[in-house]
Chain A
Amino acid sequence: MKTRILFVDDEPGILDGLRRLLRSYRNEWEMSFASSGQEALAIVAEQSIDAVVTDMRMPGMDGSQLLNELARCHPEIVRFVLSGYSDDEMIIKSVGTAHQYLSKPCDSDLLKAALSRALSLRKLLHEERLLALVSGVSSLPSLPEVYLEILETLRSDGASLRKVGETISRDPAITAKVLQLVNSAFFGLGRKISNPADAASLLGLDVLKTLALSAGVFSQFDQNKISTSDFSLAQVFDHCIAVGLLGKRIAASEEAESNLVSECLLAGTLHDLGKLIIVNEYPEEYARMRLMAKGEGMSEYLAEKEILGATHAEVAAYLLGLWGFTDSVVEAVAYHHQPGLSSYAEFTPLTAVHVANALEGAAQANERTAPCAGLDMSYLEASGLADRLESWGRLRESARDSRK
């Protein structure tokens, strides 16, 4: 079946141009065009559409209104912005609901690549309801303490961006959202930013303030809303941060280039975000999954697969992919329990995250993994890295010691 993409723009020239430009994709893509938000909603109501690419400013219903409406009624649709505006107000208006922002003029290869990539991510999640659920997510719950601290730092006189960046890096959920934003093409960066400190200094205090105060950008975790008491956000975050740091050490010990090192840190920090989505959206299934894993002594991710049809790894990877994170980060998150599913055989962020997670997980009550501490030895052997395991294990010990 062809993928169906709907383009929305009030300027007919843009639609004609896109139609011609993407003609070479006519065998894979079925394209529709709408000249207003209302028209777009009418089309979406009649046909099933996989992705929408919309302009921001249009007479009548504007892009952000359209995206809000789509997120509400058709959350499974991939939502892209292609806009000629680059002002902060527009970005902030759509940051909650747009998966990615592309700015005009947009390189046609970039547009094609971004669209095909977002659409190909769907193979990560097979179930329609999960697709809808995850693409409907606009923010991830963060720790109230950290959120509060960010607000306080921002409000204080002479707020320092470095301090804000440091605080953000203590919360994987906020880290993800801020990096999504800073890497969106609105900010016109050629390279991908992978750490919160750089992100904070690029965004600047004003944008950060507006973001922090905008509804729907950051949300706070509410333990009371979760029916299972078997979940601690702080514990998951601690684990994520530990995996990130260890992943970074491992990469550094392999003398990986700095870019790769910081991707390992990032992928590690984000790797278990899928758990937040699951526990938030499917608390009952989450509780059942825990019981099943305990009762049958199986790995949690396998129990998730059994009950939900997807693992927390796949769920997070799908979301991060929609948000425009790099392939290597998405892959590291997606396969951190099953690295053998990846087709790479060299050292990648996946290697670092998989190993760091297994080493950290061995000590975590929350992630009791299968024998051999959840390590996929055949993957490591195939990558020719099995002999490194011992020294990586020592890195973890020394990291533990230095933290004490």
Chain B
Amino acid sequence: MDELELLENRLQRERLARKQAEALLEEKSETLYLLNQDLVKLAADLAEREEASRSILEATGDGIITLDESGRIDSFNRAAKGIFGYSQEQVVGQNIDKLFPMGITGEAFKNIPHMQDMERSGELHEATGRRADGSEFFMEISLSQGQLLQRRMIIVSVRDITQRKKAEEERKYMEIQLRQAQKLESIGQLAAGIAHEINTPIQFVGDNTRFLLDAFADIERLLSIYDQVLEAVRANEITEGLVTSVNSIANEIDLDYLRSEIPQAISQTLDGTDRVARIVRAMKEFSHPGDEAKSLIDINKAIQSTITVSRNEWKYDAELETDLDLTLPTVPCLASEFNQVILNIIVNAVHAIRDGKSDDSTAKGAILITTKQEGDWAKISIRDSGSGIPEAIRSKIFDPFFTTKGVGKGTGQGLAIAYSAIVDKHAGTIDVQSEVGVGTTFTIKLPMQG
């Protein structure tokens, strides 16, 4: 019994011990399992992170190239491959020179590989790159450096800006075109007006000349008996009949009328041809073809010719007066651009006058153009008696395409062009003062020294 009891007890102890051991094992293995789990996760994390940074590197549109200190290429991301057309293998280990025809001595690479001046890190430079096929292109690069296992690493990021450069150039070109177009359009508009200004004197010059021809034929009749009269006087044989026929011819041709009219016809004819000549001269001065560089310009004369050329634009709506300082020295100036500015402002003034006029009024408005010297500046002001510019839009009028005029009446470019011509091209200033219902004054100042 004891033996059995003993056996029983031992068995029970062993069972207990095994249970404990099992529990321990279970506990241990769970810890292990968890540990292992962590490890796996860590590894996965790491891989993921590397993958992530690599894929970021690969996905980025910028080309990223890393160099060692001597300028040898360490790595080359996918965008860089796309930009340069090389594969990783073709460039790794090679000198960066391969990618930059200007070499690392070029402006942007002055500090590589001894890039001490870390303040320049991250700064953008423009450079020229060379592709695998030998073609060259514009790019923007920035440099920075990092540390990798005690080794200094230079990171070059490159961006192909050929498109942007092209767009920029395109825009510049379009701007020139646009300006040209506006100028052409205003010349086209002017042309119709100028044609009218010329056709008018041509019409009456022709009419007067035709009259003079007729008048001379009449006078010829009188002259035809001149010889007879002379003869008669010489011979002292003037007859009543001769006198009567002289008188009757004089009557028939209305000699008195011809006498008073012929000199007037001649002077109006001369006046007409002068007018044509003046317009033609002003046209030449106004358009000043092909002056790219500034030359010394008589501002007063330029204003006069612009007024002459645009006469048809303002004469129906305004009296235009000038008060010009004739002692004003010449000013370095792009003549045709300056003339265009004056024209734009005159046309605006006419529009404002029309705008401010009540429908039934036939009174004309007034435009006054003055010039004067103020220190080192030539000052030009153009005042109109038009509708004025409301305070609220005064700051916008120089913006490109800002207009309050209807379609076909204004494109909103007149003052934008004026601003760029005066401020950007001549380093001058253009200002406006205005009172609604009273009028507007534009003031331009140009430096006398270019």
- Interface class of chain B by DSSP: helix
Q: Give the CA-CA distance A59 to B363 in the complex, in Å.
A: 9
Given known A13-B271, A59-B362, contact A21–B196 (CB-CB < 8 A): no
Q: Which chain A positions have C-beta within 8 A of B196?
A: 57, 84-85
Judged by a CB distance under 8 angstroms, whether A378 is at the interface is no
Judged by a CB distance under 8 angstroms, whether B404 is at the interface is no
Interface residue from B204, B211, B315, B362 paired with A13 (Cβ < 8 Å): B204
Contact yes or no, B268 A13, CB < 8 A: yes
Q: Give the CA-CA distance A16 to B263 in the complex, in Å.
A: 13
Q: Give the CA-CA distance A105 to B362 in the complex, in Å.
A: 28
Contact yes or no, B203 A84, CB < 8 A: yes
Judged by a CB distance under 8 angstroms, whether B210 is at the interface is yes
Q: Which chain B positions have C-beta within 8 A of A60?
A: 362
Judged by a CB distance under 8 angstroms, whether A58 is at the interface is yes
Q: Which chain B positions have C-beta within 8 A of A24?
A: 214
Contact yes or no, B211 A57, CB < 8 A: no
- Interface class of chain A by DSSP: loop
Interface residue from A85, A86, A108 paired with B207 (Cβ < 8 Å): A108
Judged by a CB distance under 8 angstroms, whether A14 is at the interface is yes
Contact yes or no, B199 A21, CB < 8 A: no
Q: Which chain B positions have C-beta within 8 A of A20?
A: 207-208, 211, 261, 265
Contact yes or no, A59 B316, CB < 8 A: yes
Contact yes or no, A105 B206, CB < 8 A: yes
1/0 contact string of B183-204 vs chain A (CB within 8 Å): 0000000001001111111111
Judged by a CB distance under 8 angstroms, whether A87 is at the interface is yes
Judged by a CB distance under 8 angstroms, whether A106 is at the interface is yes
Judged by a CB distance under 8 angstroms, whether A17 is at the interface is yes
Q: Give the CA-CA distance A349 to B203 in the complex, in Å.
A: 36
Task: With CB as the reference atom, state the residue of chain A lying closest to B361.
Answer: A60
1/0 contact string of A61-91 vs chain B (CB within 8 Å): 0000000000000000000000011110000
Shortest Cβ distance from A31 into chain B, in angstroms?
13
Contact yes or no, B202 A105, CB < 8 A: yes
Given known A16-B264, A104-B199, A108-B210, contact A58–B204 (CB-CB < 8 A): no
Interface residue from B192, B204, B264, B316 paired with A85 (Cβ < 8 Å): B192
Q: Give the CA-CA distance A74 to B192 in the complex, in Å.
A: 32
1/0 contact string of B287-320 vs chain A (CB within 8 Å): 0000000000000000000000000000111000
Contact yes or no, A17 B362, CB < 8 A: no
Shortest Cβ distance from A3 into chain B, in angstroms?
19
Q: Give the CA-CA distance A7 to B26 in the complex, in Å.
A: 124
Given known A13-B268, A16-B264, A86-B192, contact A105–B211 (CB-CB < 8 A): no
Q: Give the CA-CA distance A103 to B203 in the complex, in Å.
A: 9
Interface residue from A13, A18, A87, A103 paired with B272 (Cβ < 8 Å): A13
Contact yes or no, B204 A16, CB < 8 A: yes
1/0 contact string of B230-270 vs chain A (CB within 8 Å): 00000000000000000000000000000001001100100
Judged by a CB distance under 8 angstroms, whether A11 is at the interface is yes
Contact yes or no, B204 A14, CB < 8 A: yes
Judged by a CB distance under 8 angstroms, whether A117 is at the interface is no
Q: Give the CA-CA distance A121 to B264 in the complex, in Å.
A: 36
Contact yes or no, B192 A105, CB < 8 A: no
Contact yes or no, A58 B316, CB < 8 A: yes
Task: With CB as the reference atom, state the residue of chain B lying closest to A55.
Answer: B200
Task: With CB as the reference atom, state the residue of chain A lying closest to B191.
Answer: A87
Q: Which chain B positions have C-beta within 8 A of A105?
A: 199, 202-203, 206
Judged by a CB distance under 8 angstroms, whether A23 is at the interface is yes
Contact yes or no, A21 B210, CB < 8 A: yes
Q: Give the CA-CA distance A105 to B195 in the complex, in Å.
A: 10
Contact yes or no, B195 A84, CB < 8 A: yes
Judged by a CB distance under 8 angstroms, whether B364 is at the interface is yes
Task: With CB as the reference atom, state the residue of chain A lying closest to B269.
Answer: A17
Given known A17-B268, A104-B200, A105-B199, contact A23–B206 (CB-CB < 8 A): no
Given known A57-B196, A58-B316, A84-B196, contact A17–B214 (CB-CB < 8 A): no
Which chain A residues have a beta carbon within 8 Å of chain B's beta carbons? 11, 13-14, 16-18, 20-21, 23-24, 57-60, 84-87, 103-108
Which chain B residues have a beta carbon within 8 Å of chain A's beta carbons? 192, 195-208, 210-211, 214, 261, 264-265, 268, 271-272, 315-317, 362, 364
Task: Give me 18 other A-B pairs in contact (C-beta within 8 A), A17-B203, A21-B208 excluded.
Answer: A16-B204, A16-B264, A16-B268, A17-B205, A17-B206, A17-B208, A20-B265, A24-B214, A59-B315, A59-B317, A60-B362, A84-B197, A84-B200, A84-B203, A85-B195, A103-B199, A104-B200, A106-B203
Can you pick out 12 interface pairs between chain A and chain B where the beta carbons lie within 8 Å of each other?
A: A13-B200, A13-B201, A13-B272, A14-B203, A17-B203, A21-B207, A59-B316, A104-B200, A105-B203, A105-B206, A106-B203, A108-B206
